[in-house]
C-alpha cells in the first residue's frame, strides 16, 4: 500500500532530473553556440572557453635542477666553471679533486661562459635576463653587467688588435652582440640567422664564427638551411653569411687551430622526404660541417650505417688541431674525430665526393677513432688549455664528466645534483631527449622540438609523395590545456599523440612504455610558453594597445558589425587564445583532406614562425596580406598597413 507514493515520488524525481538535465544541456548548447557564433556546435566541455592560466601545470612551481650548461676552464688548467641556468648559479670546481670550490648566484639563467686570456674574469651570458655578466675570479663576485640582445646563450672571448672582445650569440633576437671589455660596452649588434647558438673565434682574433641553430627555408616546400655567420670581432662588422645546406640544430662550434677550419656538429635534415622513409635512414643523420674563413662548407657524416649518434651538440678541439670531441645529446656519447685523418681524406677526395660525403655513412670509419659513453644528455664540451682533460656537461644527470684525453677514458664526475630521478618532469625530459626509442636511434623528440619548441620546419608525415601534405611543426612550450592536438585536431591527449601515433608514424619501433609516457606528458605540460616570465606582465605600447583593440573588435572602424564567428578573440579566446575548436578559415590547400583545422593557441606565437598548418606563411603579416581569402580568417579587408602592423605588434605580446 505504502509503496505507491514512494514510486510516484521516485518517478517525479527522475522526471525533474531529466528535465533539469535536458534544460541544462539545452542551455549549454545555446550558450556555446551564442558565444562561438557557430550554429553547428554540439556540446563541448566548458573548459574549451572557461579556463584559468593559474590552474595550468606550467604555472605551478616546479623543481629546479642543477643542470649544467656552458663550461669554461681556467688558463692554468686548474679550475672548471659551470653555468647552472635553472638554479641561477655559476659554480667553480677543482679540476683535480672534481669537488665544487665556490658558488655564485647570478640572476637571469646563466647559460654560456667565456674566460679571458689571463684568467682574471669570467663572463656569463644570462639567457632569460638578456645580459652578460662579468665575474671577477679573484673574489668570485659579479662586478659588471651589461644589457645585450635577447636570449644570449653563448659567448667567446677574443684578443683583437683593438683590445679584448666578447662575441655573443643572442638566440631570441637573432643577432650577435660584440662587446668591448674595457670599457664594458656593446659595440655593434650585427644580424645573424635564426637562433644563433654557438660562437668560436680564430686564435688571432680576426674572425668569429657563429653557428645558427634553426633552418630557414626559402619557401615551405624548399630545402631548409641553417647558417654560419662570420663577424669581425674588433669592430663587430658582419663579414659573411653562408648556409649549412639541408641542416639544422647546429648547437656547437669550435675552431681547429692550424687548419683554418671552424667545425660545427649539425643534424642533416630531409624534412621534405616522407617520414615513412625513416627505415631507410633518409630523414635525419648527424654531420660535422667544416667551414673555412671564406665560408665554403663541406659536411661529413658522424653516424655509422646501422647506428646513429643523434642530436650532436657541443664540440671541443685541442690547441694543436689534432682531435675534435663531439657530444651527442640523444645517444649519450662523445665521438672522437681524428682531424689529421679527416684532412687526409679531404686532400684525396674529388669535389663531387666531398659534396656527397654526408650521405655515405660508411665514411665515418675513416676518421672517427673512438666513441666514449657518457651520462644522460651531454650538451656542452670543453677542453683544458693543455688538452689533457675533456669536460662534458651531462645536462640531465646534473654532472660534468671529466675524460682523460690520452686514454680516452672517463676519470670521474663533478657532481652538481642528484639527477632528479624522483621528479616525473625530469624523467620525462630524459625520455624527450633520448633517441633510444627510434629506429636505429636516428633521432629524438628534441631533434625536431629543441627545448620543446619548434625547429621552424614543415614535415611530410604522409607516405603519398615527396613534399605532399606538409605539416608545420608546433611548439610544445605552452601546450598544456590546448588539446585536441595536431593541426587536424585528431589527437585527444599528449599520451596518444606521443605514444601510439609517434610509434606508428615516426619511430618504426615499439611505442614508448606507459610509465614513460606519463613522465613525458608531465614534462610537456611543465613547459611555459616562450619567454612567458618576461612577457606576461608587460605594459602595452600605444601600437600594441591599438592592435589589442583590433583583436577584440566587434565593429569595424566604420561601425559595421563583425559577425561573431569572424572576430579574432572568439576563436582565439583568452587566456590560451584558442577556443580549442576546429574551424575553417579558408586555408585548405589542394592536398588537404578537410578545410577544418585546430584553432591554434597564440601564446608565444611571435616565436613559432612559419605559420598555418603547412607552414606556408613566413611571417604573421603574410596571414592577412598573402593568405587571406574573402575575410574568412577574421575580417581584415578594412585594415590599412598601419592597422595590420598594430595587430601584429599585439600578437607578438601574447
Ligand atoms: C564556445 C565558448 C564557450 C563555451 C564552450 C562555454 N562558454 Fe560560458 N561563456 C562564454 C563567453 C564568451 C562568455 C561571456 C563572458 C566571457 O567572455 O567570459 C561566457 C559566459 C558564461 C557565464 C556568465 C553568464 C553569461 O552567460 O554571460 C557563465 C555562467 C558561463 N559562461 C558558464 C558556462 C558553462 C557552465 C559552460 C559549459 C556548459 C560554458 N559556459 C561553456 C563562452 C563559452
Ligand atoms: C620529425 C620531426 C618530429 C619529431 C621527431 C617529433 N615531432 Fe612532434 N611534431 C612535429 C610536427 C611536424 C608536428 C605537427 C604535426 C601535426 O599537427 O599533425 C608535431 C606535433 C606535436 C604535438 C602536437 C602539438 C599541438 O599543439 O598540437 C606534440 C604534443 C608533439 N609533437 C610531441 C612530440 C613528442 C613527445 C615527440 C617525441 C616522442 C615528438 N613530438 C617528435 C614534428 C616532430
Ligand atoms: C573562425 C575562427 C577563427 C577566427 C575568427 C580567427 N582565427 Fe586565426 N586561426 C584559426 C584557425 C583554424 C587557424 C589555423 C589555420 C591553418 O592552420 O590553416 C588560425 C591561425 C591563426 C594564426 C597562426 C597561428 C600559427 O601558429 O600558425 C594566427 C596568428 C591567427 N590565427 C590570428 C588571428 C587573428 C589576429 C584573427 C582576427 C583577425 C583571427 N586569427 C581570426 C581560427 C580563427
Better pLDDT: 291 or 466? 291
pLDDT value of position 505: 62
Whether the per-residue pLDDT at 494 is higher than 80: the answer is: no
* Contact assessment for residue 397 and residue 418, using Cβ atoms and an 8 Å cutoff: no
Mean pLDDT of 365-378: 97
| Mean pLDDT, residues 149-165 | 96
Same domain, 264 and 326: yes
For residue 304, count other CB atoms closer than 10 A to its CB: 16
274 inside domain: yes
Distance 650 CA to ligand 3 centre (A): 14
Regarding whether 349 and 213 lie in a shared domain, the answer is yes
Q: In this structure, is residue 131 part of a structural domain?
A: no
Query: Following CA atoms 481, 171, 198, 123 in sequence, which dihedral angle do they give, to the nearest 10 degrees?
Result: -110
pLDDT attached to residue 35: 86
262 falls within a domain: yes
User: How much is the pLDDT for 343?
Assistant: 97
489 has a pLDDT exceeding 90: no
Phi, psi values for residue 571, rounded to 5° = -75, -45
| Protein residue closest via CA to atom 40 of ligand 3 | 568
Strand partners, 472: 458
Say if residue 368 is in the same domain as residue 258: yes
Q: Which of 89, 170, 72 is nearest to 130 (CA)?
A: 170
CATH of residue 334: 2.130.10.10
Q: Which ligand is nearest to the CA of 631?
A: 3
What percent of the chain stands above pLDDT 70?
94
Domain match, 588 and 613 both = yes
Query: Is pLDDT of 8 > 90?
Result: no
Task: Report the pLDDT value the prediction gives residue 590, as an integer from 0 to 100.
Answer: 83
| CATH number, position 601 | 1.10.760.10
Average pLDDT over residues 163-176: 97
Burial of residue 455 (CB within 10 Å: 0-12, 13-18, 19+) is buried
Mean pLDDT value across residues 71-86: 98
Residue 511 sits in the same domain as residue 639: no
Residue 9 reports pLDDT greater than 90: no
- What is the DSSP annotation of 36-70? HT-TT-----GGGT---GGGSGGGS----------
Q: Is the pLDDT of residue 373 over 90?
A: yes
Residue 379 and residue 307: Cα distance in Å, rounded? 20
Closest atom, ligand 2, to C-alpha of 484: 27
Query: What are the pLDDT digits (tens) for 275-287?
Result: 666 666 667 899 9
Please state the rounded mean pLDDT for residues 39-68: 90
Report CA(49)–ligand 2 centroid distance (Å): 24
Q: How far is the CA of 37 from the centre of ligand 1 (A)?
A: 12
- What is the residue with the minimal CA distance to atom 31 of ligand 2? 474
Residue 220: predicted pLDDT: 67
Residue whose CA is at the smallest distance from ligand 1 atom 19? 35
Q: What is the pLDDT of residue 358?
A: 92
- Index of the ligand 2 atom closest to the CA of residue 487: 17
Same domain flag for 285 and 318: yes
Provide the edge-to-edge strand list for the sheet that holds 121-126: 110-115, 121-126, 131-136, 141-147
Query: Which of 20, 22, 31 for mutating ligand 1's site (highest number of atoms within 8 Å of CB)?
Result: 31
* Contact predicate 392/327, CB 8 Å: yes
Residue 288, H or E segment? strand 284-291
**pLDDT digit string, tens, across residues 290-330:** 999 898 999 999 999 888 899 999 999 999 999 999 999 99
From CA 548, how far away is CA 538, in angstroms rounded? 13
Q: Which ligand is nearest to the CA of 497?
A: 2
112-152 tens-digit pLDDT: 999 999 999 999 999 999 999 999 999 999 999 999 999 99
Mean pLDDT of 590-606: 91
Choose one of 525, 559, 575: the last residue of a domain. 525
Are 344 and 215 within one domain? yes
Cα distance between residue 339 and residue 358, in whole Å: 16
Residues with CB under 6 A from ligand 2: 443, 445, 447-449, 459, 471, 473-474, 476, 479, 482, 485-487, 494, 497-498, 502, 506, 520, 524
The secondary structure of residue 347, as a DSSP letter, is H
Residues 511 and 617 in one domain: no
Give me the pLDDT at residue 23, please: 83
Pick from 490, 525, 560: which residue ends a domain? 525
Ligand 2 centre from 490 Cα, in Å?
Answer: 13
CA end-to-end span of the chain, whole Å? 68
Enumerate residues lining ligand 1, CB below 6 A: 28, 31-32, 35-36, 44, 46, 48-50, 579
Coil vs helix vs strand at 296: coil
Q: In this model, does residue 469 exceed pLDDT 80?
A: no
Same structural domain, 272 and 348: yes
Cell numbers given for 12: 517525479
pLDDT in tens, 230-262: 999 999 999 999 999 999 999 999 999 999 999
* Phi, psi torsion values for 223, nearest 5 degrees: -60, 140
DSSP 106-175: -SS-EEEEEE-TTSSEEEEEETTTTEEEEEETTTTEEEEEEE-SSSEEEEEEEEETTEEEEEEEETTTTE
Examine residue 26 and state whether it is found in any structural domain, yes or no: no
Answer yes or no: is pLDDT of 500 > 70: no
Q: Is the pLDDT of residue 601 over 90?
A: yes
Beta partners for residue 611, in sequence order? 617
Residue 184 falls inside a structural domain: no
- Cα-to-centroid distance, 46 and ligand 1 (Å): 7
The reported pLDDT for the residue numbered 43 is 85
Q: Among all ligands shown, which has an atom nearest to the Cα of 44? A: 1
Ligand 3 pocket at CB < 6 A: 487, 551, 565-568, 570-572, 583, 585, 587, 597, 599-600, 602, 605, 608, 611-613, 620, 623, 633-634, 636, 647, 651
Overall number of domains in the chain: 3
Could you say which of 525, 556, 572 is where a domain stops? 525
Instruction: Output the pLDDT for position 464.
Output: 54
Q: What does the pLDDT average to over 212-216?
A: 93
433: number of CA atoms within 13 Å, CB side?
A: 25
- Domain holding 440, by residue range, is 425-525
Distance 288 CA to ligand 1 centre (A): 55
| 369-378, 409-418, 445-454, 462-471: range with lowest mean pLDDT | 462-471
Contact 234, 202 (CB under 8 A): no
CA–CA dist 277, 33 (Å, integer)? 44
Ligand nearest to the CA of 579: 1
Based on the domain organization, do 250 and 305 belong to the same domain?
A: yes
Strands (E), 161-269: 163-170, 175-180, 185-188, 194-201, 208-214, 226-232, 237-244, 247-248, 254-256, 261-269
SS3 338: strand
Which residue out of 20, 23, 35, 573 has the highest number of ligand 1 atoms within 8 Å of its CB and is therefore the one to mutate? 35
Task: Round the average pLDDT of the chain to a whole number and report it.
Answer: 91
Question: Strand locations in 563-632, DSSP E?
Answer: 582-583, 597-598
Residues 318 and 204 in one domain: yes
Would residue 558 count as lying in a domain? yes
102 lies in a domain? no
Percent of the chain with pLDDT over 90: 74
Position 501 scores a pLDDT of 63
20 Cα to the center of ligand 1, angstroms:
18
Is residue 503 situated within a structural domain?
yes
Strands (E), 508-594: 582-583
The pLDDT value recorded for residue 276 is 62
**Higher per-residue pLDDT: 366 or 490:** 366
> Which tens digit of pLDDT belongs to each residue from 194-213?
999 999 999 999 999 999 99
Residues 654 and 620 in one domain: yes
DSSP E strand stretches across 395-550: 399-404, 409-415, 458-460, 470-472
Distance of CA 28 from the midpoint of ligand 1 (Å): 8
Amino acid at each position: 500500500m505504502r509503496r505507491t507514493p514512494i514510486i510516484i515520488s521516485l518517478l517525479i524525481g527522475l522526471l525533474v532530473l531529466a528535465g533539469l538535465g535536458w534544460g541544462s544541456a539545452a542551455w549549454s548548447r545555446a550558450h556555446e553556440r551564442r558565444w562561438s557564433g557557430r550554429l553547428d556546435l554540439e556540446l563541448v566541455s566548458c573548459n574549451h572557453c572557461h579556463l584559468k592560466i593559474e590552474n595550468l601545470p606550467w604555472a605551478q612551481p616546479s623543481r629546479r635542477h642543477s643542470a649544467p650548461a656552458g663550461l669554461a676552464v681556467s688558463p692554468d688548467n686548474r679550475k672548471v666553471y659551470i653555468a647552472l641556468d635553472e638554479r641561477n648559479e655559476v659554480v667553480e670546481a677543482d679540476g683535480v679533486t672534481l669537488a665544487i670550490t665556490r658558488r655564485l648566484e647570478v640572476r637571469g639563467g646563466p647559460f654560456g661562459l667565456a674566460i679571458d686570456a689571463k684568467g682574471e674574469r669570467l663572463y656569463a651570458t644570462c639567457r632569460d635576463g638578456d645580459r652578460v655578466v662579468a665575474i671577477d675570479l679573484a673574489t668570485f663576485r659579479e662586478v659588471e653587467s651589461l644589457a645585450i640582445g635577447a636570449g644570449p646563450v653563448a659567448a667567446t672571448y677574443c684578443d683583437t688588435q683593438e683590445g679584448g672582445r666578447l662575441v655573443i650569440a643572442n638566440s631570441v633576437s637573432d643577432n650577435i652582440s660584440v662587446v668591448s671589455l674595457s670599457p664594458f660596452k656593446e659595440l655593434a649588434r650585427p644580424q645573424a640567422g635564426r637562433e644563433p647558438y654557438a660562437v668560436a673565434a680564430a686564435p688571432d682574433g680576426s674572425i668569429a664564427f657563429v653557428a645558427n641553430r634553426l633552418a630557414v627555408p626559402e619557401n615551405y616546400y624548399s630545402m631548409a638551411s641553417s647558417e654560419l655567420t662570420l663577424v669581425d670581432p674588433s669592430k663587430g662588422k658582419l663579414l659573411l653569411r653562408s648556409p649549412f645546406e639541408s641542416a639544422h640544430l647546429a648547437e656547437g662550434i669550435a675552431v681547429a687551430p692550424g687548419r683554418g677550419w671552424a667545425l660545427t656538429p649539425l643534424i642533416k635534415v630531409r624534412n621534405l622526404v616522407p617520414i615513412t622513409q625513416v627505415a631507410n635512414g633518409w630523414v635525419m643523420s648527424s654531420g660535422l660541417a667544416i667551414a673555412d674563413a671564406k665560408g665554403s662548407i663541406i659536411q661529413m657524416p658522424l653516424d655509422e650505417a646501422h647506428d646513429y649518434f643523434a642530436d650532436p651538440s657541443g664540440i671541443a678541439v685541442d690547441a694543436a688541431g689534432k682531435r675534435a670531441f663531439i657530444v651527442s645529446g640523444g645517444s649519450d656519447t662523445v665521438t672522437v674525430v681524428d682531424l689529421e685523418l679527416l684532412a687526409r681524406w679531404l686532400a684525396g677526395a674529388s669535389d663531387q665526393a666531398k659534396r656527397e660525403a654526408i650521405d655515405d655513412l660508411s665514411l665515418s670509419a675513416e676518421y672517427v677513432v673512438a666513441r666514449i659513453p657518457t651520462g644522460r644528455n651531454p650538451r656542452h664540451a670543453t677542453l683544458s688549455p693543455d688538452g689533457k682533460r675533456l669536460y662534458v656537461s651531462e645536462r640531465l644527470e646534473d654532472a660534468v664528466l671529466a675524460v682523460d684525453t690520452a686514454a680516452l677514458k672517463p676519470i670521474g664526475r663533478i657532481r652538481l645534483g642528484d639527477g632528479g630521478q624522483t621528479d616525473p618532469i625530469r624523467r620525462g625530459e630524459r625520455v624527450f631527449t633520448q633517441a633510444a626509442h627510434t629506429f636505429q636511434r636516428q633521432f629524438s623528440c628534441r631533434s625536431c622540438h629543441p627545448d620543446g619548441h619548434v625547429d621552424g620546419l614543415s614535415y611530410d608525415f604522409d607516405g603519398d609523395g615527396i613534399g605532399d601534405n606538409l605539416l608545420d611543426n608546433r611548439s610544445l612550450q605552452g601546450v598544456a590545456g590546448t588539446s585536441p592536438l595536431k593541426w587536424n585536431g585528431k589527437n585527444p591527449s599528449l599520451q596518444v599523440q606521443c605514444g601510439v601515433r609517434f610509434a606508428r608514424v615516426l619511430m618504426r619501433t615499439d611505442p614508448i612504455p606507459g610509465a614513460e609516457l606519463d613522465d613525458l606528458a608531465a614534462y610537456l605540460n611543465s613547459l611555459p610558453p616562450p619567454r612567458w616570465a618576461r612577457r606576461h606582465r608587460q605594459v602595452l605600447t600605444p601600437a600594441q594597445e591599438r592592435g589589442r583593440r583590433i583583436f577584440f573588435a566587434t565593429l569595424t572602424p566604420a561601425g559595421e558589425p563583425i559577425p561573431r564567428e569572424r572576430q579574432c578573440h572568439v576563436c582565439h579566446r583568452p587566456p590560451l587564445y584558442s577556443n580549442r575548436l576546429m574551424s575553417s578559415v579558408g586555408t585548405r590547400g589542394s592536398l588537404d583532406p578537410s578545410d577544418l583545422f585546430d584553432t591554434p593557441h597564440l601564446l608565444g606565437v611571435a616565436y613559432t614562425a612559419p605559420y598555418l598548418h603547412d607552414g606556408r606563411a613566413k611571417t604573421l603579416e603574410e596571414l592577412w596580406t598573402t593568405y587571406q581569402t574573402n575575410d574568412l580568417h577574421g575580417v581584415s579587408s578594412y585594415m590599412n598597413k598601419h592597422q595590420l602592423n598594430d595587430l601584429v605588434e599585439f600578437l607578438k605580446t601574447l
